[in-house]
Structure formats: C-alpha cells, structure tokens
C-alpha cells in the first residue's frame, strides 16, 4: 500500500517544470504590464493574457501527463498482482488435477492389493488350524493374520475416501441415530473410563440423510474424542436445530489439536497416532459434503475439541 502512494522522482521533475512555466508566464505578464514600452495599453494587455494562457496551458498539460503516468503506474501494479493471482490459481488447478489423477490411480491400486491380501489372510487362517504348529510358528501366523486385517481396514478406509458410495437418503429421526452411535462408541473405550453425555433438543424435526453414513461419521468423531480424552472425562453428543439446519456436535475435553495441525485435520493420511490411518476425518468430511452438509472442527475455549456435523433441515 505504501509503495502505491510513493511518487516517482521523474514525476516530481515534471511538476517542478510545470510550476516553472507558470512562474515564467506570470513574471512575463507582470513585466509586460509594468514596463513602459512602445506598445499601446490594449495590445500589451492582450499579449499578457496570451502569455498567461500559454503558461496555464503548459502547466495543465504537464499536470495531465503526471496524472496519466500515475494512473498507468497504478494500473500496471494492479495488473502485476492480478497476474500473480492467476498464476497461483493455475498452479493450484494443475496440482488438483495431478492429485485427482493420483487419487484415481491409487484407488485402482488399493483395489488390486485387496485380492492377494485376501489370499494371504485365507492361507494364514488355514495354517492356523494346523494343530502341529509349534507356539512360535503359531505366533507368526497370528501376526500375518492381524497385519492382513489391519491392511484390509486401511484399504477399506482409503477406498471409502477415494470413491465414497452415493448417499441413500431417507427421512430419519435423529435421536435414534444418536442413540445407536452412543451404543457403538461405548465399545470403543477399551477399558478407559469415559462418561457419555447426550444433549438432544426435544422435538428435533426429522431430517433427510443417509443414516448409515451419518452413523459412520459420528462414530469416527466419537472414537477420536474418546482417544483424545484422559481417563474420567466426559464426551458430549449434542443435537440442535436452527437457521434451517441441524447441528450435531461431538465435544470432548481432551488434549485438543496443536495450532500447527489445525489446517491439516482433513488432509488424507494426516495422523498423530502411532497406529492411526489419518483417514477418519477426511472420509467423514467427504461423506458430509456428499450429503449436502458440512463437517467443521473448532478448538474449545478451555480445552478439547468440538466437531460439528451440519445437515440442511430440508434437502
Ligand atoms: P486417525 O484417528 O487415524 O489418526 P483421523 O482422520 O480420525 O485419523 O484424525 C486425524 C488426526 O486428527 C488425529 O491423528 C488427531 O491428531 C487429530 N484429532 C482428531 N480428532 C481429535 C480430537 N477430538 N481431539 C484431538 N485431536 C484430534
Ligand atoms: Mg480417527
């Protein structure tokens, strides 16, 4: 902004020149008026006026040129910044295109990996049934089976992200979806002491959504909340209606998200957990977008996070 206001020294010179012209015209006028010469009064006055007008004209021209130059300078600066923005957008589009191609390729690859993985897992299951295996061999077979299961889960999440199925819309009573989410989340505590709080506004209107996908989203958020919470804390699941939309919130009082990570929460494969996939939130985000809703994350003023699932009241 400062730079736009600063004036080119050459333009100052133009100004100085025009002021000089006006000054010369004025001096000549005065001289013409006061010096006794061979001219008669009306002729002298006319000459003076002509000289004055000439001076003014020159000054006007100089000022006009100065204004034009200033205008062009600002315009070229503006064009420069527009060019930079266009370039950045173009780069962004190229990147998105590359990512989309990469996404399609890796989705195909993930699909291909699944078949041999199923064979390995099947073979491990057959081996496990063999009673002649010694304990060390049995442990190895268990490792193979467990790792196959983990990889299969990862591939399923990845494929859900890359190609989520289209939502199957139904008119749904939210309270039922929330209850079944809470029941499922109860299995995810794995010995931790976590209290669940349910705050559902009475008389919530029925909403059009895919209940299965909504439950998947909420369960993912609940499991993240449980994992982030210390022993003895409460995780709240709330639902309210207003402004033509229904908002379901998962609120925890856990460790929260580091400021440097906030922008990366919905990036595929972003995880801070040793055995995390980093696909829970991006899949949930994708599902909500397909349902015509949204998923937002906010840090709580005191501690912990709030994830808000927003659904339009009417589709
Ligand atoms: P994953 O759970 O496999 O790591 P997610 O996509 O579900 O993958 O979450 C990505 C990351 O976001 C997590 O690793 C964690 O760092 C952060 N995160 C998600 N939910 C919460 C939460 N409720 N509190 C704190 N951090 C969270
Ligand atoms: Mg998760």
Residue 269 has what pLDDT? 87
Query: Does any ligand 1 atom lie closer than 6 A to the CB of residue 278?
Result: yes
How far, in Å, are 25, 52, 65, 210 from residue 22 at the CA level? 5, 8, 16, 80
**Residue bearing the CA closest to ligand 1, atom 2:** 276
Residue 237 has what pLDDT? 98
Among the residues of 130-243, which ranges form H helices? 135-162, 174-186, 211-228
**Residue bearing the CA closest to ligand 1, atom 7:** 280
50-77: per-residue pLDDT in tens? 777 777 877 788 888 889 899 999 999 9
Domain count for the chain:
3
The region of weakest confidence among 62-71, 176-185, 228-237 is 62-71
Q: pTM here? A: 0.64
Residues 305 and 195 in one domain: yes
Residue 8 pLDDT class (50, 70, 90 cuts): low
Three-state DSSP at 114 gives helix
Q: Which atom of ligand 1 is nearest to the CA of 279?
A: 6
CA 51 to chain centre: 66
Residues 220 and 270 in one domain: yes
Query: Does any ligand 1 atom lie closer than 6 A to the CB of residue 221?
Result: no
Residue 191 domain flag: yes
Domain that holds residue 105: 95-162
The region of weakest confidence among 26-30, 112-116, 264-268, 304-308 is 26-30
Alpha-carbon distance of 197 to 248, in angstroms, equals 13
What integer is the mean pLDDT of 123-148? 93
Residue 79 has what pLDDT? 93
**Residue bearing the CA closest to ligand 1, atom 3:** 276
**Residue bearing the CA closest to ligand 1, atom 25:** 256
Please report, for the domain that includes residue 252, its CATH number: 3.30.565.10
Residues 70 and 40 in one domain: yes
The region of weakest confidence among 3-12, 181-190, 300-309 is 3-12
Residues 183 and 304 in one domain: yes
Residue 77 domain flag: yes
Final residue of a domain: which of 49, 82, 115?
Answer: 82
Residue 172 has what pLDDT? 93
Residues 272 and 241 in one domain: yes
Alpha-carbon distance of 245 to 260, in angstroms, equals 31
Residue 33 · residue 50 · CB < 8 Å: no
pLDDT over 60 at 125, yes or no: yes
Query: Residue 16's CB: how many other CB atoms inside 10 A?
Result: 11
Residues 106 and 179 in one domain: no
What integer is the mean pLDDT of 230-255? 96
Residue 2 domain flag: no
Alpha-carbon distance of 310 to 43, in angstroms, equals 87
- At a CB cut-off of 8 Å and minimum separation 6, what does 67 contact? none
Residue 35 has what pLDDT? 64
Produce one character per residue of 131-158: b if its CB has 16 or more CB atoms within 10 Å, e if not: eeeeeeeeeebeebbeebeebeebbebb
Residue 214 domain flag: yes
Residues 176 and 308 in one domain: yes
Residues 59 and 182 in one domain: no
Highest mean pLDDT among 24-38, 155-169, 265-279: 265-279
Residue 10 has what pLDDT? 66
Pocket test for ligand 1, best of 271, 285, 303 (most atoms within 8 A of CB): 271
C-alpha 155 to ligand 1 mean position (Å): 18
Residue 196 · residue 226 · CB < 8 Å: no
Cα angle 296-298-304, degrees, rounded to a multiple of 5: 130
pLDDT over 80 at 233, yes or no: yes
Residues 151 and 249 in one domain: no
Q: Which atom of ligand 1 is nearest to the CA of 271?
A: 14
Residue 46 pLDDT class (50, 70, 90 cuts): confident
C-alpha 227 to ligand 1 mean position (Å): 8
Ligand whose nearest atom lies closest to the CA of 153: 1
Q: Give the end-to-end CA distance of the chain in Å, rounded to a whole number.
A: 45
Ligand whose nearest atom lies closest to the CA of 284: 1
Residues 299 and 211 in one domain: yes
Query: Does any ligand 1 atom lie closer than 6 A to the CB of residue 268?
Result: no
Residue 58 has what pLDDT? 78
Residue 203 has what pLDDT? 87
Residues 158 and 176 in one domain: no
Mean pLDDT of the chain: 87
Residues 134 and 187 in one domain: no
Final residue of a domain: which of 162, 183, 203?
Answer: 162
Tell me the DSSP string of 53-110.
HHHHHHHHHHHHHHHHHHHHHHHHHHHHHHHHHHHHHHHHHHHHHHHHHHHHHHHHHH
Residue 256 · residue 303 · CB < 8 Å: yes
pLDDT over 90 at 226, yes or no: yes
Alpha-carbon distance of 282 to 162, in angstroms, equals 10
């Amino acid at each position: 902004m400062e730079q736009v206001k600063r004036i080119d020294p050459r333009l100052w010179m133009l100004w100085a020149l025009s002021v000089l012209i006006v000054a010369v015209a004025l001096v000549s006028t005065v001289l013409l008026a006061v010096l006794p010469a061979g001219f008669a009064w009306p002729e002298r006055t006319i000459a003076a006026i002509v000289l004055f007008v000439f001076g003014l004209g020159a000054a006007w021209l100089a000022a006009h040129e100065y204004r034009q130059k200033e205008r062009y300078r600002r315009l070229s600066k503006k064009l420069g910044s527009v060019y930079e923005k266009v370039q950045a957008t173009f780069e962004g589009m190229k990147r998105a295109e590359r990512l989309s191609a990469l996404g399609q390729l890796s989705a195909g690859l993930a699909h291909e990996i699944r078949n041999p993985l199923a064979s390995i897992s099947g073979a491990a299951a057959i081996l496990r049934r063999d009673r002649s295996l010694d304990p060390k061999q049995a442990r190895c077979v268990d490792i193979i089976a467990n790792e196959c299961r983990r990889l299969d889960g990862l591939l399923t999440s990845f494929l859900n992200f890359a190609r989520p199925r289209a939502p199957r819309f139904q008119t749904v009573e939210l309270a039922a979806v929330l209850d079944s989410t809470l029941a499922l989340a109860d299995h995810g505590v794995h010995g931790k002491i976590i209290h669940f709080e349910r705050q559902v506004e009475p008389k919530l209107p029925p909403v059009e959504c895919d209940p299965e996908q909504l439950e998947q989203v909420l369960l993912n958020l609940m499991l993240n909340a449980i994992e982030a919470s210390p022993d003895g804390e409460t995780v709240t699941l709330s639902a309210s209606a207003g402004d033509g939309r229904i908002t379901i919130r998962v609120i925890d009082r856990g460790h929260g998200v580091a400021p440097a990570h906030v922008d990366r929460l919905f990036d595929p494969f972003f995880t801070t957990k040793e055995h995390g996939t980093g696909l829970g939130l991006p899949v949930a985000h994708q599902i909500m977008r397909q349902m015509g809703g949204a998923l937002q994350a906010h840090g709580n003023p005191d501690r912990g996070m709030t994830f808000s699932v927003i659904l339009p009241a009417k589709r």
